[in-house]
A and B are shown apart, each in its own frame.
Chain A
Amino acid sequence: MNFQEILEKIKTKHEVLESKEDLGVLNAYIATAKIAAVAAFMKDELKFEQLNFITAVDFPANNAIEVVYHFFSYETADSVVLRIKLDRAKAEVPTISGVFKTADWHEREASEMFGIKFSGHPDLNRLLLPDGIESPLRKDYKNPDMTPLPKA
């Protein structure tokens, strides 16, 4: 399956807000509320059994955080990226840990690193970070303990 075919297949059942091709891989933007349904569709109908990872990328210039879901199909060796655009101020997205168990820990990590709330997550505890550090992977994060080097 190439980029176009997969896109068509997703479009038959679900709405794709926007799509682009990046080095041969489909990047499809999905509506926030739909993510769990689309993930289930990817897994059950399109046979993308593996969720490689969930992460986020911060774009302060657009005031957006994009949540990235990377899927891989063992049968066809295709990859698909689903993306969700979130408002930086109130980043909240439904969890897909009910569909993919592996999303559990990946969502916890993305949650503490980017300050995204995954609503409906069974245990949205801290995973890697100690208490007191808030969303360090956002571009505007300043470490309070860090003193910048003097300009030479």
Chain B
Amino acid sequence: MIKAPFEMEKISDEEYILNMGPQHPSTHGVLRIVLKLDGEVVTGLYPDVGYIHSSVEKMCENKKFEMITPYTDRLDYLSAVNYNWAYVAAVEKLMGIQLPERAEYMRVMLAELNRIMSHLLWYSAFGMDVGALTPIFYAFREREEVIDMVEGMTGGRLTHHAFRIGGFKNDLQKDFLSRLEKFLAKFEDRICEYEALLINNVILTARTKGVGILDKDTAINYGVTGPVLRGSGCAIDLRKNAPYSVYSKFDFRVCTGKNGDTWDRLKVRMDEMRESAKILKQAAAMLPAGEFCAKVPRVIKPAPGEVYTKVESARGEFGVYMVSDGTEKPYRIKFRSPSFSNLSVLKEITIGSKIADVVAIMGSLDLVIPEIDR
């Protein structure tokens, strides 16, 4: 347990230290935040992470390439598919595997469904953070449908292990497309319902507008990515800026905020779900027939070399840096996780606000602790 720098020095009579976490309802996992408070106003903040560090990177060095994919599921259990993707893409790039067209489209569809799943859960959790207990039930109504679809395809509801090196284990279910169509038909309306229920609520806008303002330059300097960065007004989305897979073929908008406050980050996520639905619609229409898995050698032994692949996960840029020495096991793997950088900016945007704002700001950063701790 690390002491915050301000714990060492003497604090003034009016200030006191409050430990938020490691067990706290709104740290969403085992995260400890040391707050220095003056009444209810935050005057100092120090995040202490690492409570559930499990040394995934070291474990990966002792596993064969095809055994590592499930580990990436567990880094961020909420958008597991995207994390699979960055990993298998790294191996595929090292080995020079070309995916069949159908597999690429299937990957896009699963990844976007996964993004919707993750954002819906974030929406529910954020509602709980600000004291609205009802939104979760409405969001989970749709989230269950999405999970059912992905479950039908992969067999998993949370950690799907959806992707294999070279493609997929099985093809899409027969009724997948019809279910998807039925889901997308009503999803647009449902997003409007969520916005009416929580995002546009008077109390919520009063609580989030102008709170936790993160400006563009600070965001980039801290390596913040994903919806948080876009909320600050940077139109940066790896699906557009460094298109991977077949994303360049889709027509979608990069949603951005204006002021970089908490509300903008909420709005960006809501809009992103709309865009995801748009991508899904296009992908379902464009889905070609054919193989769903490339020819992959039985023993996976990439050539020696280094690679860094990154995807736009629900939380931002997730990257896998992999060093291969030509054996069956990776020499070194580094996971670059978005929440890690997103959390590091918390101190910058929280000082001077209230305890309740800390919770709201943290909720708007959409942290997942296992990927910070790894």
Say yes or no for A95: interface residue by CB 8 A criterion.
no
- Given A27-B306, A77-B241, also A49-B220 (CB < 8 A): yes
- Given A79-B308, A127-B49, also A105-B341 (CB < 8 A): yes
Chain A 51-80 interface mask (CB, 8 Å, partner B; 1/0) = 111010110000000001010101001010
- Given A53-B319, A102-B222, also A128-B49 (CB < 8 A): yes
Contact check, B336 vs A52: say whether CB atoms are below 8 A apart: yes
Contact check, B307 vs A22: say whether CB atoms are below 8 A apart: yes
Chain B: minimal CB distance from A140 (Å) = 12
Q: Which residues of B are found within 8 Å of A81, using beta-carbon distances?
A: 306, 308
Total interface residues in chain B, CB < 8 Å: 42
- Report how far A81 CA is from B53 CA in the complex, Å: 27
Contact check, A68 vs B321: say whether CB atoms are below 8 A apart: yes
Q: Which residues of A are found within 8 Å of B308, using beta-carbon distances?
A: 25, 52, 70, 79, 81
Say yes or no for A36: interface residue by CB 8 A criterion.
no
- Report how far A149 CA is from B55 CA in the complex, Å: 20
Contact check, A57 vs B58: say whether CB atoms are below 8 A apart: no
Query: In the complex, which residues 334-372 of chain B have their Cβ closer than 8 Å to any Cβ of chain A?
Result: 334, 336, 340-341, 344-345, 348
Q: Which residues of A are found within 8 Å of B307, using beta-carbon distances?
A: 22-23
- Report how far A77 CA is from B332 CA in the complex, Å: 25
Query: In the complex, which residues 196-252 of chain B have their Cβ closer than 8 Å to any Cβ of chain A?
Result: 218, 220-225, 234, 236, 241-242
Q: Decide if the interface of chain B is mainly helix, strand, loop or mixed.
A: mixed
Contact check, A52 vs B2: say whether CB atoms are below 8 A apart: no
Q: Which residues of A are found within 8 Å of B53, using beta-carbon distances?
A: 128-129
Interface centre among A57, A72, A129 (most CB of B within 10 A): A72
Say yes or no for A101: interface residue by CB 8 A criterion.
yes
Q: Which residues of B are found within 8 Å of A106, using beta-carbon distances?
A: 340
Q: Which residues of A are found within 8 Å of B236, using beta-carbon distances?
A: 74
Query: How many cross-chain pairs have Cβ atoms below 8 Å apart between A and B?
Result: 90
Say yes or no for A137: interface residue by CB 8 A criterion.
yes
**Interface size, A (range):** 35 or more
Say yes or no for A136: interface residue by CB 8 A criterion.
yes
Say yes or no for B317: interface residue by CB 8 A criterion.
yes
Say yes or no for A15: interface residue by CB 8 A criterion.
no
Say yes or no for B93: interface residue by CB 8 A criterion.
yes
- Given A27-B306, A57-B332, A79-B308, also A101-B49 (CB < 8 A): no
- Report how far A127 CA is from B345 CA in the complex, Å: 15
Chain A: minimal CB distance from B91 (Å) = 12
Say yes or no for A45: interface residue by CB 8 A criterion.
no
Q: Which residues of A are found within 8 Å of B319, using beta-carbon distances?
A: 52-53, 70
In this complex, what residue of A is CB-closest to B373? A128
- Given A57-B323, A57-B331, A74-B241, also A52-B5 (CB < 8 A): no
Contact check, B58 vs A136: say whether CB atoms are below 8 A apart: yes
Contact check, A23 vs B305: say whether CB atoms are below 8 A apart: yes
- Report how far A23 CA is from B321 CA in the complex, Å: 13
Chain B: minimal CB distance from A145 (Å) = 13
Residue A101 contacts which of B221, B242, B310, B373 (CB distance < 8 angstroms)? B221
Contact check, A50 vs B50: say whether CB atoms are below 8 A apart: no
Query: In the complex, which residues 87-134 of chain A have their Cβ closer than 8 Å to any Cβ of chain B?
Result: 100-102, 104-106, 113, 123, 125-130
Say yes or no for B374: interface residue by CB 8 A criterion.
yes
Q: Which residues of A are found within 8 Å of B345, using beta-carbon distances?
A: 101
Q: Which residues of A are found within 8 Å of B55, using beta-carbon distances?
A: 136
- Report how far A16 CA is from B98 CA in the complex, Å: 34
Say yes or no for B57: interface residue by CB 8 A criterion.
yes
- Report how far A53 CA is from B220 CA in the complex, Å: 13
Q: Which residues of B are found within 8 Å of A130, using beta-carbon distances?
A: 1, 50
10 extra A-B contacts, CB within 8 A, seeds A23-B306, A53-B319, A130-B50? A23-B93, A23-B305, A23-B307, A50-B225, A70-B308, A79-B308, A101-B348, A113-B57, A129-B53, A141-B58
Pairs A-B, 9 closest by C-beta atoms: A102-B223, A128-B50, A53-B336, A55-B334, A128-B53, A77-B242, A101-B221, A105-B344, A101-B222
Q: Residues on A close to B: CB < 8 A? A: 22-23, 25, 27, 49-53, 55, 57-58, 68, 70, 72, 74, 77, 79, 81, 100-102, 104-106, 113, 123, 125-130, 136-137, 141
29 sample A-B contacts, Cβ–Cβ < 8 Å, listed by A number: A22-B305, A22-B307, A23-B94, A23-B307, A50-B220, A52-B308, A52-B310, A52-B319, A53-B321, A53-B336, A55-B321, A57-B332, A68-B321, A70-B308, A74-B234, A74-B241, A77-B242, A100-B223, A101-B223, A101-B345, A102-B224, A102-B341, A104-B344, A106-B340, A127-B50, A129-B50, A129-B53, A130-B1, A137-B58
